[in-house]
Amino acid sequence: MEALGQAFLAVWGALGFDVDLMARYGPRLLSGLGVTLEIVALAAPLGCALAIPLAVCRLEGGPIARNLALGFSTFFRGTPLLAQTFLVYYGAGQFRSAFETIGLWWLVRDAFWCVILTFTLNTAAYQSEIIRGGVRALPAGQREAASALGLGPFALYARVLLPQALIGGLRPLGNELVLLVKASSIASAVTVFDLLGATRYVYGRTLDFSVYLWAALLYLALVEIIRRAVNAIERRAGRRFAAVS
Amino acid sequence: MENLPTLLSFGAAGWGDELLAGVGVTLALALATLPLGLGLGLAVTLAKASRRRSLRAFGEAYTTVFRGLPELLTIVVVYYGGQILLNAALARIAPGTSVQIGGFAAGVAALALVFGAFASEAMLGALHGLPRGQMEAAAALGLPPSTAFRLVALPQLWRLALPGLSNCWLVLLKDTSLVSVIALTDLMRQTTVAAGATKQPFIFYLVACLAYLALSLLSGRVSDWLQRRADRGMATAGR
């Protein structure tokens, strides 16, 4: 690992970049990248787990459940993520004793977990719309066939509707993942040292503007990798799908 | 919580007028960005649909960069980087002088760059949705290309791109909150000030969220109206 780092720095210097700067602050940027990945890797699946019941509420729920899910989705999609993050991070402090009573103070005290909580709720709202749209796009025959086979409501969703809706919604879900990567930079506004947070820290120390450009390249690479991965998965899923139908 | 009316009242005691001024700055920022972003989006769309390979490559590169970068990073880079670039340029022309870019100008520039990237995707889709026969018919009528584009293509482009552009506008409206990180007293910044001074962050951030929500819902109404106007005389399968 050490040798690898030295080799990297040698190439870095040969390309005419500032070796000293990279040796001192490169690890910081990398750990920032790690935090960014951590945020996305936690919030995206948690959001999906929350999005599925929300979408089902919208599709099958009574007036109360439907409107609650609609209100949730309207609020989180209609307001800036920055405002939501501040609402949770700073707002929670006002209810410290209440949170201590229910044993959740550790969660909202820590900026990182506040960010995870907010981003999960936010992406759940967007993902639930995608899943709902995916289910509604399925032909009515799917539902009828499932009930002819005697599937109950749970099996109908778990075995028939949701798998197809998720495959149909792969592209928008991939776009949502890209949006989440970009949005994760908002964590830096509440003292989390994600990639942008680390970059701002290094810039503050060195006043070397090029760190921003390195951060930009890292973000672009991350987004491009996700885009290509989603395209590849979609092609594979599409092939399997086409073979079935 | 019981003093909510006082907290949000106008005048010296309450924060209502400060918040409203913040809403004004937020709206001004979004409205100032819109024409610039639309123009940029149209230019990038035409570049991407161009026959010249270099223009196409430029359009694609532009879209990839500004769609892929976090908006917050773009704003910070434009704010600080623009300052450095401008002063470096100035130092060559007139040594010894320096300028300061305001938060508003930097915010508009950064948001317009992002808006242009997303809008160009919506417009490109609309451009592909335009039947070929339209421009051919315009040419057959003897309209010069620029007139044909202005009178035949553009109005239809507008109608087809409007749903996508409405989405871009909603994203823009929310993205304006990010400009509060570079010293601009928009709604978000005013809210932070009020929350800090009163020690009531929950109420103030909630009020700010509701204000953004109201702007979003209002925007939805306006874009519905614009879409109905643009759809005049068109028979559509939907609705």
pLDDT at A180: 95
**Residues with Cβ within 8 Å of residue A88, at least 6 apart in sequence:** A108, A114, A117, A118
Distance CA B184, CA B176 (A): 10
Q: Return the higher-pLDDT residue of A176 and A13.
A: A176
Which of chain B's residues have a Cβ under 8 Å away from the Cβ of A79? 174, 209-210, 212-213, 216
Distance CA B199, CA B210 (A): 19
Average pLDDT, chain A: 89
> Cβ of B212 and A79 within 8 Å?
yes
pLDDT at A45: 96
Amino acid at B98: S
User: B2-31 pLDDT, tens per residue?
Assistant: 467 777 776 666 777 788 888 888 999 999
pLDDT at A156: 93
pLDDT at A243: 52
Domain of residue A101: give its range: 25-244
Q: What residue spans define the domains of chain B?
A: 27-186
> Cβ of B175 and A80 within 8 Å?
yes
Q: How far is B33 from chain A (nearest CA, A)?
A: 17
Per-residue pLDDT of chain B (239 residues), as tens digits, is 446 777 777 666 677 778 888 888 899 999 999 999 999 999 999 999 989 999 999 999 999 999 999 999 999 899 888 888 888 888 888 777 777 778 888 899 999 999 999 999 999 999 888 888 888 999 999 999 889 989 988 888 999 999 999 999 999 999 999 988 876 778 888 888 888 778 888 888 998 999 999 999 999 999 999 998 988 877 665 54
Is residue A198 within 8 Å of residue A32, measured between CB atoms? yes
Residue B194, both tokens: 């009020």
Distance CA B105, CA B33 (A): 10
User: A96-126 pLDDT, tens per residue?
Assistant: 888 888 878 877 788 999 999 999 999 999 9
Q: What is the CATH number of the domain that holds A179?
A: 1.10.3720.10
> Cβ of A80 and B202 within 8 Å?
no
Q: Most A CBs within 10 Å: which of B29, B76, B79, as the mutation test of the A interface?
A: B76
Is residue B125 within 8 Å of residue B159, measured between CB atoms? no
Distance CA B204, CA B19 (A): 9
Is A96 inside any structural domain?
yes
pLDDT at B239: 46
CATH architecture for residues B27-186: Orthogonal Bundle (1.10)
| Chain B contact for A209 (CB, 8 A cutoff) | yes
Query: Which residue of A lies nearest to B66 if distances are taken between CA atoms?
Result: A220
| Chain B contact for A224 (CB, 8 A cutoff) | yes
- Count Cβ–Cβ pairs < 8 Å, chain A vs chain B: 111
| Chain B contact for A119 (CB, 8 A cutoff) | no
**Total structural domains in chain A?**
1
Q: Return the higher-pLDDT residue of A103 and A156.
A: A156
Is A5 inside any structural domain?
no
ipTM entry: 0.86
Distance CA A239, CA B112 (A): 39
